[in-house]
């Protein structure tokens, strides 16, 4: 799930890796596309190795420092947090990115606010 995905990305940044591989899932792929649009990743590709699907994530660095410094889980498996579009606020005064799972798919909290769509608030990244 996405909480494991985020910790693998953070550990990849801390180990200064160029790319990491994780097993494919539809939710993870949608989340990675949002993170790529937000500038936290260079590229995301779906690879098939020995008849198994994987996601290859190319990490992004700025001035030899990781672009993503940390994350905070909002919804967990045992506690789902839902927010209306009015309750979606900027993350770290606009320097972070919130990810929301809506009826229109996974999108950033800023896009959900613009489209006036609420949903499950998954996590924040900065």
At 30, which CATH number? 3.30.1370.30
> Rounded to 5 degrees, what are φ and ψ at 112?
-65, -40
Residue 73 near residue 123, CB atoms below 8 Å: yes
pLDDT at position 44: 98
Mean pLDDT of 71-77: 96
Please state, rounded to an integer, the average pLDDT across all residues of the chain.
Answer: 97
Residue 68 near residue 10, CB atoms below 8 Å: yes
Length of the chain in residues, anyone?
126
Among residues 102, 110, 8, 122, the alpha carbon closest in space to that of 57 is found at 8
Residue numbers of the domain that contains 79: 2-125
pLDDT for 52 beyond 90: yes
Quote the number of domains for the chain. 1
pLDDT at position 1: 84
pLDDT in tens, 7-36: 999 999 999 999 999 999 999 999 999 999
């Amino acid at each position: 799930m996405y909480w494991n995905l985020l910790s693998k990305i953070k550990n990849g940044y801390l180990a200064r890796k160029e790319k990491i591989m994780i097993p494919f899932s539809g939710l993870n792929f949608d989340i990675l596309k949002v993170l790529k649009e937000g500038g936290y990743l260079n590229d995301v590709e779906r690879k098939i190795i020995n008849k198994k699907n994987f996601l290859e994530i190319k990490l992004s660095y700025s001035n030899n420092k990781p672009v993503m410094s940390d994350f905070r889980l909002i919804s967990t498996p045992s506690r789902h947090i839902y927010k209306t579009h009015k309750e979606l606020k900027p993350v770290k005064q606009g320097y972070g990115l919130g990810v929301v799972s809506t009826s229109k798919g996974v999108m950033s909290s800023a896009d959900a606010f613009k489209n006036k769509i609420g949903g499950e608030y998954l996590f924040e990244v900065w």
